Amino acid sequence: SFAAHALAQPADSSADEAYWRGEYPDAPALPDLPGDRPHPAVKSFNGGTVTAHVPAELVKAARKAGAKQGCTLFATLFAALQITLGRLSGAEDVVLAVPSSGQSLLPDPALVGHCVNFLPIRAAFAPGASIAEHLALVRDKVLAALDHQGLTYGTLVRELKIERTLNRLPLTEVQFNLERVAEGLAIPGLQIRTHPNPKAAVNFDLFFNMIEGPDGLRLDVDYNADVYDPATVRRWVDHLSTVLRAIGADSAQPLRQLPLVTGADLPFPPATAITPPETQVLHDLVTAQAARTPDAPAVAFG
């Protein structure tokens, strides 16, 4: 029973603890993602959900590129999301939490209960690394993490003695998961699709849940609504699609050269060069431009 499982003494996890301590001789700083609002002084849980789609051809090309490095689609998508968030934040060390079913480690695989553990997988970007090299690193890190599931996320955080704050999570605030679409209800003459209810409350700031289907990937992205707007999250999903396209096109290119947007994605065409009058100083030019286009964005990032 689940009650017996909850009361049972934990198995020896010394090997798992040694592995995770080796992965975290220090705790990386959380990525400084360009949110729409700063984090509140005390962590909030107000949430929302954005649903998006990645076409099958992008998924197929990225899967093929990952397979050349021995990566499953899971590892390839993990790397793509990691790269996207790294480019958005400028971080070189982006940790993603991956949910793992604890039933696989139990003597009774038929146990019904909440046994999910989070694996904080760490695969820092190596200087000058190519996409292919990073895919190989992620492959090894994912396999090693799955081999060392015996230590819970909460235990690891306590053992590492990470400095805690009231408004941020330790190690990572981003969760990633991949699942395959289940066989749905079949009714002759009808095409049926399932859609999740939008989240009103979330634990992680971002949760990228990807569902693989015959027509590509459906992304259900839960987000902290006190920090991010849905338009921002949708834009980041577009960036992820651009990274997947780059992975499928040329996995030999350096990570630092991966684009986040294409020319067609730019909100406005590149401006032509204008030579300002030599008699005006910079702040006068700014004032004049603001008067001409008071509602135009001054700066756009991400």
pLDDT tens readout for residues 167-194: 999 999 999 999 987 666 677 888 777 7
Residue 272 pLDDT? 46
Tokens representing 302? 């991400």
Q: Over the stretch 263-299, which tens digit does the pLDDT of each residue have? A: 555 555 445 445 545 556 676 677 767 766 776 777 7
Q: Over the stretch 150-165, which tens digit does the pLDDT of each residue have? A: 898 999 999 888 888 9
| Domain membership flag for residue 264 | yes
Q: Supply the range of the domain harboring residue 138.
A: 17-28+41-272
Residues forming beta bridges with residue 178, ordered by sequence position:
210
E strands, the chain, are 47-55, 96-101, 116-121, 174-180, 206-213, 216-224
The mean of the pLDDT values for the chain is 87
| Domain membership flag for residue 72 | yes
| Domain membership flag for residue 267 | yes
| Domain membership flag for residue 266 | yes
Residue 300 pLDDT? 66
Q: Over the stretch 218-262, which tens digit does the pLDDT of each residue have? A: 999 999 999 999 999 999 999 999 999 999 999 999 998 888 886
| Domain membership flag for residue 282 | no
| Domain membership flag for residue 33 | no
Residue 215: alpha-carbon gap to chain centroid: 21
| Domain membership flag for residue 2 | no
Residue 296 pLDDT? 72
| Domain membership flag for residue 66 | yes
CATH number of the domain that residue 191 is part of? 3.30.559.30
- The number of domains in the chain is 1
- CB neighbours of residue 243 within 10 Å: 25
Q: Over the stretch 39-68, which tens digit does the pLDDT of each residue have? A: 999 999 999 999 999 999 999 999 999 999
* CA pair distance 42, 200, nearest whole angstrom: 18
pLDDT at 195 over 50: yes
